[in-house]
Structure 1
Amino acid sequence: MIRKIVLALGLAAFSLSVAACNTVKGAGQDIESVGQAADNEI
């Protein structure tokens, strides 16, 4: 029973970390695109 709980918590933590990585990656791409737009205007 404890093993199943630990496994479920591990899977939940893994899925949250993957979601966070995608969010940070998307934010980085947004910042990069703003920087490129500013370079094009200059």
Structure 2
Amino acid sequence: MKRTVATLLAALMALSLLSGCNTMRGMGEDIEQGGEAIQRQSSS
């Protein structure tokens, strides 16, 4: 029972993360923006 719930929660989390980036290109852009934000913070 616990394993089923854990699997379901993991699947829901993965779907919610992937729904923000409908394509690999979109995911790449999101990662790039995150990296740029880190660079801006580290250079300040």
**TM-score normalised by the chain length of structure 2:** 0.49
TM superposition outliers: structure 1 runs of 4+ over 3 Å = none
After superposition, where does 1:7-18 map in structure 2 within 5 Å?
Answer: 7-18=29-40
Structure 2 unmatched ranges of 5 or more: 1-22
Q: Which consecutive unaligned segments of at least 5 residues does structure 1 have?
A: 23-42
For 2:31 and 2:43, locate their aligned partners in 1 and report how far apart those are by CA, in whole Å: 18
Answer 1 or 2: higher relative contact order, Cα 8 Å, separation at least 6.
2
Q: Which has the higher helix share?
A: 1
From the CA coordinates, give the structure whose radius of gyration is larger: 1
- Equivalenced residues, count: 22
Q: What CA RMSD, in Å, does the superposition of the two structures yield over aligned residues?
A: 0.2
TM-score, structure 1 normalization: 0.52
